[in-house]
Structure formats: C-alpha cells, structure tokens
Copies of this chain bind each other. A is one copy, B any other.
Amino acid sequence: MSSRAGLVGVTGYTGMELSRLIVNHPRIKLTKVTSRADAGKELQELYPFLRGYELGRLVISQPEPDDLAAGCDLVFLAVPHGAAMEMAGELRQRGVKVVDLSADFRLRDVHVYESWYQKHTRRDCLTEAVYGLPELYAEQVKRASLVANPGCYPTASILGLYPALKNKLVKTGDIVIDAKSGTTGAGRKAAPGSLFCEVYDSFRAYGLPNHRHTPEIEQELSAIAGTSLTVSFNPHLLPINRGILSTIYTRLDKSISGADIQALYEEAYAPHRFVRVLPPGTFPELRNVRGTMFCDLALVPDARTGRLIILSAIDNLCRGASGQALANANLMCGLDLATGLELAPLVP
C-alpha cells in the first residue's frame, strides 16, 4: 500500500523537482498539490513535462490544512520560510507528518533563527524537529514527525567535512567554504537578476560575507566537532541550472598521509549508498551528480601549504532539496532510504 503525500507550494523549483522525482515512486503517491496562484489548474498545465503521467492530471488546490490532513499521511512544504512554519504547525496539530524544505526548523537555537531570518511563531514545533541529513541522523528521522530538510549549501558542506571534523583531522578555526551553485538555487521568482540574459555567459559571487546558510552549517559542524566553530561561507552563482560544487579549505591539525585521509573517508561513507568518495587524483564534476542523490567527494592534501582541500558536489535541487526530502519521507514511512531515488545521473 502506498503512503499518500501532499505538496504545499508546487510552483517553485523544489516543488517542480519533487513532482519529477515522485512520479515513478513505487510506494509514495502525491494526492494533493497546492498553490495559491495556480489552484484550479491541472499540474500538467503548469508542468508540460508531466503530460502522459497520471500525476499530470492532478488538480492543484488551495493550501488548506484540513483538506491536507484529510487526504495525506505526510506533507512536503516547499514554501518560503515564515509561511512554512505556520503551515507546519497547523499540520502537526492535525497529526500529519511534515517534511519542511524551508529553513524554519533547521536552527535548533531560536535566537539564532530570529537573528538571521525573522520572528519564529511556532517554537512549540521546533523541539520535535529532526535535522534530516540521512548520513548523520537516519535513526532520528525514522521516528520523526517533523523533519527540517537541510539547505543545499549545508548538505554539500557538512557531508564534505563530516569525517575530517569527526576525526579531528583539521583545525576548527580555519575553514573556508567557497561554494558555486546553479541558478535554480535562486528560486523561481521573476526577479530581474535571475533573467536569462543577466546570468548566461557570466559568473559572480553573491551574499558575501553573511549568507543565511552560514549558521546552519556552523550548527551542524560544531555538533560534529564537539566544539563551537565559525566558517567563512561564500557562495557564487553558476550560469547553469543545477548543482553545487563546494571547494572547502581546511588546515590539517595532525600529521596524516593522504592515503590515510582517503581511507578514513572511504570507511566513513562505505555504509552510505549516496556518498561517493572518488579515487585520489580525480575530482567531482557537477554533471556526474545531475538529477540524483549522489554527493561526490574528493580529498586533496596539499603538503606545500599544510592544507586539506575537500571538493564536494551535489545536485542542489535533488540532493540539496527535494530528493533529500523524499529520502526523509521514505524513512518516515518505514521504507528504505533509496526507494524511488535510484536514478542514474543524466550525463552529458
């Protein structure tokens, strides 16, 4: 029997991506999709790529908590922060499981949340929220009713640094993350800076030096390292649709060979289907993770400067948002993490 899922906010890129991924899912079925602006339309009018699938003929409805609770076992929230916390609260009151793709329940310290985002109106739900990075928190996710789906940049950063910090390989006070993201990361709002001709054939940094994903990254890395740390996180905008490549600069804190670092990462991720530690001398390419849950990692020790450089690549929409949300939903529904997510990368 299938679980019945709802999707609140189908018109953005994370909603679009979740639609794409769930269309062939063997055990979770989308029964409700909502959008204030497009209610009344069939989903395939919005997304012609869904023509020919049963999902394409689902009629978009208004986001009503009672309606969602009646028709869904679990609901994905793909709406902006602020809107998400309200809907999450309504749904939790009605006993519906929630995977929230916004930032609203990611930061455990509400004061940190409020200093980077806005007032938090559903602190009651905050305590039950589980941070849904499966490689770290799968067991908690299985038992969770509210999952805070990680941000795209944090996902790439944390997976890249986890074994190094866990094993105290690198100094905690000297971490720089130079991140490059495809333009879907900017969302689907019709903003002048997101126009094709403003992005194509160009490249730029943005949001320096205080991007909102910084506290989320620091929260999780501090937990792994067992000490409070800060990072310098600096995003850039790639003229492509999908993908994040983070080049992470650390300083080695102990004497360890490149081979041992490699072995340590391979061992750490051996149980994890979706993290691929590349052989020494090969580097991640965004296309190799396109459309998938894979996180590709490379370790580059630099003896000359005493640094360990970590390259981490994901698809920001799939692994960094909707695919990871679906993986979390799988766990919450008692399914294997990878159910319906075994897609091969689209290369080239």
Contacts and interface: CB of A to CB of B under 8 A. Distances in A.
A201 interface: yes
Interface string A234-256: 10101111110101010000000
A176 interface: yes
B13 A197 contact: yes
Interface string A285-314: 111111100101010111011010101000
Given A184-B197, A188-B192, A230-B305, A13 B348 contact: yes
- Which bracket fits the contact residues of A? 35 or more
B203 A245 contact: yes
Interface stretch (A42-50, A63-71, A119-127, A158-166): A42-50
Interface in A293-348: 294, 296, 298, 300-302, 304-305, 307, 309, 311, 342-348
Nearest to A232: B305
Interface in A185-215: 188, 190-192, 194-206, 208-210
A290 B247 contact: no
Contact of A192 (B23, B190, B230, B231): B190
A301 B294 CA distance: 34
Nearest to A204: B285
B20 A283 contact: no
Given A195-B190, A209-B304, A348-B184, A249 B247 contact: no
A225 to B, nearest CB: 16
Contacts of A274: 52
B288 A49 contact: yes
Nearest to A303: B209
A195 B194 contact: yes
Contact of A342 (B24, B296, B301): B24
Contacts of A137: none
A204 B236 contact: no
Contacts of A304: 209-210, 230, 232
Contact of A278 (B48, B273, B307): B48
B20 A278 contact: no
Given A200-B239, A209-B304, 5 more contacts: A51-B288, A178-B178, A202-B287, A203-B286, A205-B298
9 contacts: A49-B288, A50-B344, A52-B274, A201-B240, A202-B348, A209-B307, A230-B305, A232-B302, A238-B238
